Amino acid sequence: MFGSNRPVSYRPPNIVVALMADAYNQPELRQWYCANECPLGKDRISESDTMPPERALIRLKKGMKEIDKAMQELANIMDDGVISEEEMELLPNIMEQFMEARKRIDENIMAIERSIKHKSFNKY
């Protein structure tokens, strides 16, 4: 950055990102920060796409079958309290399905946050 004493790899404090997200009505800035910069969130949170609210809702509704299936598989594994070798192999896929569900829920939360400020779902 020309004329700045900050190092090139400058990471803004999380409060600055939160204030910018609120000021510019861009909740995806928080998501981006958590997915890419936050040491605690980098390996747990994935970046969500900005999309029209109706598309976010369709993606969530479409994913409900996979989420229900993953929950049923997890319930079956947890039923006896013991994780067999076969069940152990299923857990990464179940976790992946839950992470995808979190992403789809986050997309809808961001659409709602943007819409609250505009009092309309027509602007995104």
pLDDT top residue among 48 and 113? 113
CA 111, CA 119: separation in Å to the nearest integer? 12
| CA-CA-CA-CA torsion sign (30, 33, 36, 37) | negative
Note if the pTM is more than 0.95: no
Per-residue pLDDT reduced to its tens digit, 63-114: 999 999 999 999 999 999 999 999 999 999 999 999 999 999 999 999 998 8
What number is the average pLDDT over the span 43-59? Answer: 86
Q: Which secondary structure element, helix H or strand E, spans residue 19, and what is its range?
A: helix 14-23
| Beta-carbon count within 10 A of 111 CB | 23
Per-residue pLDDT reduced to its tens digit, 4-24: 565 567 788 889 999 999 999
Query: What pLDDT does residue 1 have?
Result: 42
Q: For the chain, which residues make up each domain, given as ranges?
A: 1-47, 50-124
